[in-house]
Structures are given as structure tokens and as C-alpha cells.
Amino acid sequence: MIVWEVVFWLCAGLLVYAQIGYPLLLTALARLRRVRAAAPASDDRPTVSLIIAAYDEGAVIGAKVSNALALDYPRDRLQVVVASDGSTDGTVLEARRAGADHVLDLERGGKIRAQDTAVAQSTADVVAFSDANSTWAPDALRELVGAFADPRVGYACGQVTFVHDPTRPGTNQEGLYWRYEMALRALESRLCSVTAGNGAIYATRREAYIEVDPIMGHDLSFPFNMVKRGWRAVYVPQACATEKMVPSIEGEFARKRRMMSHAWPIVLRGGLLSPRGYPPLYLLMMGSHRVLRYVAPFLHLGALVSSFVLGAHHWVYAVALALQLGLILAAMLGRIWPLRPLLVIRYYVLTTASVAAGLWDWARHGTPAGWEPAEGTR
């Protein structure tokens, strides 16, 4: 029984630490540690290539190019590039009609290779990236690029807000999770470097750009690889973008399952788990925020099985078992009764399960380099 008790308290303790203890630890460290001095702003703005990788985005690419061209950034220093990854609809034509500076009509090779090709053809000081369905605030690029006034910064990501399509109200609770994630990212950036980014709004110095395996997305692979190479990876909350979220929690499960099938190769063979090159504080962040996030489904399973075994011997474990079964029941009821507390629980259970499902998908049949737009986000 002692072994099962160790399993329960280890799993339960790590879950509580990952969700509550880690944010509290970052908050305490941020209060104790002096904030890094901000680099002075420069009037000599760098040249920027804003790269939009697109696959069958004909319905939204025109609006995206127009949004990019309207950004508050010197026009002679901004180059808008659309890299079409073998699109079969009108993406290329619509991008040209909208006035993109360069439109690359590439063969299908996946988002990463489309971005690599666009970067290889760019001569700009900074390469910025955006999803075809994201909308940037007018000052977003100026704020994002401002981070590179600090010569230590190699990567910067902005703040993305996920919003429901007003014509398609849904049950997804991604907005709540993302606010929590952005708060953690702000603390990480203040103390050291962020442990992950997002695809809606980010940029790197041209010389810091890394070519990664085509199945490994930039969101997870860039920040830690930048740190390993001596750069800082920062979060710029003033650089704002919005995206439509998947309407349903079930759709969000499918989206995150696909994302995790791309993330697991980075975790297991892409260098994320290797501590080499991590400063001590960043190593703590990676273990707390990334590694524990990815093993969470297995920690939940360990806590559930151990409390089931121990429940007949002590009331504490019986209560723990009842709470876990209640969580699962509440998640199931959220499908029937769309009450906010039940939907939040359902979101947590399904998105946690998506981590394990993504691992299963990758282990069973690998991960294709290509991607499809998530349903309901265009």
C-alpha cells in the first residue's frame, strides 16, 4: 500500500503544483527579482517581412493582406509575403488582388517548409509571422518589433485573444484558458524567457531564425531553442491579435489533439527535454510549465487508479476518488447541460485528454507535415 500512497501523493502534488503552485511561484519570484531594464526605443525601425503561410485560405486571405498593409509601420520597411502551401482554391489569386508584395505559389510541403522558403527569400532584418485568420491591431507590428531594440532578444510573441464568432455562438472555453496562459507567459517573460509562443503573432531576428523538422511547429520549438542559442524569447502583451476560436469544446479537443501530435516529437526527440543550454531558472520553467503540462493525463490516471486501490482503506483516498469521478461526471453532463461551470470542467477534461490522444496518434502513424484549417475558425 505504501507504493500506491506514494503514487497518489506524487501525482496529486504535481498536478496541484502545475496548475496553482507554479503561477504562485512565478508571482513570488517576480516580486523578489528586479525587472530587467527595458531597452530604449529606436526611431530607426528595422525592415520586416510579414509572412503568412496559407493553405486553401481563399475566403480570408484578402482580408488578412489588407489588415497587414494597414498596419502602423513604415510602408517602405514592410514587406507582406503570402506563402501558399499548395493551395487548390483561390488563395494565390486573392492574395495578389489584395496587394501582397510577394505571393509564393509553392508545392504542398507543410506550413513549416512554406515559412522556411519565405524566410530564405527575405532580406529583412526581422521576419514576422501570422495565421491567415488572425487580425492584428494597427500598432501590433510596431509593438512586436520594438522588442528587438534589446540586442538579447531573438524571438518575440504577442498577445492573441480568442473570440467566438457572433454568428456561431459555441461552448468552447478556450478564452478562459488563454487568459490564464497569457498571465503565465507575462511572468515568464519578465523573469527570463517564455516557454512557448503562438502562431497568430510572433517574430524573430533574421539571423536567429531556425529551420526545424517540418512536423514540428514554431510555437513550441522556437522559444526553448532560442534560449539554448543564447537569445531571449519574450512576450509583448501590447502587440495584440484576435482569432476566432473553434465553436465547440469537442472541436477544440480535435484541434489540440492535432497540435499535440506535432508537439510530442519536439518533446521526445526535438531537444525540449535536454537541459543542455538552459539557465537554471528557465530549466525550472520548462519542467513546471511544459513537461508537467504534457504528462498531466498520466498524472490524472495515476491519481485515479491509486485512489481507487486505497479508497477502501482510508477515507481520504475515498474522498479523492469521489472527487475525481465527480469531475468526470460533470464533464459528461456538460454535453447535456451547457452550464458554464460544467463547460469549464468539460473543457479541462477533454483538452487534458487531447495531450494523450496526440501522443497516441503520433506513435501509431506519425504526423503529417501538412495541415488543415480548424473548422469554424475562418
Using alpha carbons, list the distances in angstroms from residue 166 to 68, 131, 377. Answer: 23, 20, 12
**322 within domain boundaries:** no
> What pTM was computed for the model?
0.90
Q: Which domain holds residue 236?
A: 48-248
DSSP track, 208-227: G-----TTS-HHHHHHHHHH
Q: What is the pLDDT of residue 231?
A: 97
* pLDDT top residue among 36 and 208: 208
Q: What is the pLDDT of residue 217?
A: 87
Q: What is the pLDDT of residue 216?
A: 87
pLDDT tens digit sequence for 287-306: 999 999 999 999 999 999 99
pLDDT surpassing 80 at residue 43: no
pLDDT class of 369 with cuts at 50, 70, 90: confident
Nearest to 220 by CA among 258, 267, 178: 267
**31 within domain boundaries:** no
Q: Rounded distance, CA 328 to CA 101, Å?
A: 51
Q: Rounded distance, CA 279 to CA 222, Å?
A: 16
**344 within domain boundaries:** no
pLDDT surpassing 60 at residue 38: no
pLDDT surpassing 80 at residue 282: yes
Q: What is the pLDDT of residue 174?
A: 86
pLDDT surpassing 60 at residue 39: no
**140 within domain boundaries:** yes
Tell me the pLDDT of the chain averaged across its residues: 92
**191 within domain boundaries:** yes
Using alpha carbons, list the distances in angstroms from residue 335 to 166, 172, 372. Answer: 21, 11, 26
Nearest to 310 by CA among 301, 300, 297, 320: 320
Give the CATH number, domain containing residue 107.
3.90.550.10
Between helices 315-336 and 2-16, what is the axis angle to 10°? 50
Number of domains in the chain: 1
Q: Is 232 helix (H, G, I), strand (E, B) or coil?
A: strand
154-169 average pLDDT score? 84
Kindly report which listed range (21-35, 219-233, 271-285) carries the lowest average pLDDT score. 21-35
Residues 318/311, Cβ–Cβ less than 8 Å: yes
Q: What's at 86, amino acid-wise? A: G
**282 within domain boundaries:** no
Nearest to 259 by CA among 299, 224, 219: 219
pLDDT tens digit sequence for 315-344: 999 999 999 999 999 999 999 999 999 999
**374 within domain boundaries:** no
Nearest to 43 by CA among 79, 77, 81, 80: 77
Q: What is the pLDDT of residue 246?
A: 85
**63 within domain boundaries:** yes
pLDDT surpassing 80 at residue 166: no
Q: What is the pLDDT of residue 372?
A: 67
Residues 91/56, Cβ–Cβ less than 8 Å: yes
In the block, which residue shows the cell 482503506? 313
Enter the DSSP assignment of 40: P
Q: Rounded distance, CA 295 to CA 290, Å?
A: 9
225-251 average pLDDT score? 94
- Please state, for a pLDDT cut of 90, what percent of the chain lies above it: 80
pLDDT class of 368 with cuts at 50, 70, 90: confident
